[in-house]
Amino acid sequence: MRIGAGLSQQPDPRLGGIEAAQVAHAALGAERADLAFVFAAGAHLAAPEATLEGVTESLAPGAVAGCAAGGVLAGGHEVEDGTAVAVWAASFDDGAGATVHHVPVEQVLDDPSMEVPQVAVELPDVEGASGIVLLADPTSFPAEGALVELASRVPGVPIMGALASARGADGEVALFAGDRVVEGGAVLVAFEGVELLPAVSQGAAPVGPELTVTDAEGPLIRELAGVPALDKLREVLDALSPAEQLRLADGMLLGLVVQQGKPDYQPGDFLVRTLLGADPDTGAIAVGAMVEPGQVVRLHARDARTADEDLRAVLELHREALGGRTPAGALLFSCNGRGADRFGLPDHDARAVDDAFGGAPAAGFFAAGEIGPVAGQPFLHAFTATVAVFAP
C-alpha cells in the first residue's frame, strides 16, 4: 500500500484541487490512485464541484470520499481558516481495496410538536470490512446511533472519522462520495484487506480517586460511592491539592470506564465527557453519556499541556506497536477547538503525527466532532484528535 498527501492554498477551487492532488500523486510513483480523500475549506466551498473536478483531472482516483471543513491539514502543516484543500491518496496492494458509500438520511416523522424530527438511515453492508471511516453532516446524520449499529455489525473492526465542520454558500454541507458532490447524510468508506490502527487522544488526564456509581439513570448520576453525587464531587475537590484544583479550572470533565473488570484503569480506558449540570436539591449530576450503576468514573482535566502529552504518548504507543516501522500513512481528525489558540503555536497536531511517524503521508481536517474507539467501542468525541494509522 502506498499513500500520498498534498495541501494547496490556491484560491481557485479547480486549480487548488489539481495542485494538492499532484503533490499526493507524486508519492504514489507510477501506481494508480485507488482512493482519494478530499477535505476542502474556504473558497472551495462555493464551488466544491470544481475542486472535485481538479482532483479527478490530476489524480484519476478509483473513488473519492471527503467533506467540507473549517480548516484542513496535510504534510505536518495546518490551515485552520481561510482557503485550502488537502488531498490524501492511496494505491492498494492486491487483495486490498475500499468501497465508498453515500448514506442518505430519510426523515420518517415530521411532527410539529417534536423539537427534533425522527430520521432513519440505511447503512450499507460492511461485512468483511477491516476498517471503516465515516464522514458525516453534523446536522442531518444521527452519528451516535449509526456508530452503535455499525459496531454491532462488525464487532472489533476499527471505526474512525469525523463530522464536517463547514457549510457552503447555500448553507448546505458538501460531501464528496464516489465521483460526485452530495449533500446531507454521511460518506462511509469500508476498507478490505487493509490494516487500520486507531489512535485516540482525548487530551485529558485523570484527577483524584476512582469512584463507583451507585445510583444512576440515563445521563443522571444520583449517587457516587453511596453519597449524593454532587456532595461526593465536592468532597473530592476539597481533598485535591491546589495544583490539581488549578488543572480543573478550565472545566471539570468526567471519565467513565467503558470496559469494566480491570485491576487497574489507565487513561485510555476512560470515555471523557462534559459535566452538563447539577441539581443542588437532589445532589444529582448530569453527564454527556449514558451511565449505569456499578460503573467506575473519575474526574478529568484538560489543558494544553495535558492534550500535548496525551497525543504524543498515544502516538508513541502506536509507533512501538509497529516495531518502529514507518506507517504507510495516516488520516488525522482534529477538533476545531484545538489548534493555535489551544496550544499557542501553529501545526501542533499535524506536526506531532509527522514527528511520531517519521514523515509518513498524513492529511485530515479540523472537525466538529471526532470518531474513534475507546476500549474497542466507537464513540463520537469532542476536543479530541483521532488518527487512523495505516500499517506498512
The domain made up of 205-301 has a fold known as Elongation Factor Tu (Ef-tu); domain 3 (2.40.30)
**φ and ψ of 284, to 5 deg:** -80, 150
pLDDT tens for the chain, residues 1 to 392: 999 999 999 999 999 999 999 999 999 988 899 999 999 999 999 999 999 999 999 999 999 999 999 999 999 999 999 999 999 999 999 999 999 999 998 755 555 555 655 667 889 999 999 999 999 999 999 999 999 999 999 999 999 999 999 998 788 899 999 889 999 999 999 999 999 999 999 999 899 999 999 999 999 999 999 999 999 999 999 999 999 998 888 778 999 998 887 778 877 889 999 999 999 999 999 999 999 999 999 999 988 989 999 999 999 999 999 998 999 999 999 999 999 999 999 999 999 999 999 999 999 999 999 999 999 999 999 999 999 999 99
| Residue whose C-alpha is closest to residue 149's, from 137, 164, 132, 173 | 132
Q: What is the 3-state secondary structure (H, E, C) of 65-132?
A: EEEECCCEEECCEEECCCCEEEEEEEECCCCCEEEEEEECEEEEECCCCCCCCEEEECCCCCCCCCEE
pLDDT at 324: 83
Q: Report d(CA 185, CA 203) in Å as an integer.
A: 28
> Length of the chain, please?
392
Residue extents of the structural domains in the chain? 2-201+307-390, 205-301
Q: What type of residue sits at position 218?
A: G
Rounded to two decimals, the pTM is 0.93
- Give residue-wise pLDDT tens across range 317-359: 999 999 989 999 999 999 999 999 999 999 999 999 999 999 9
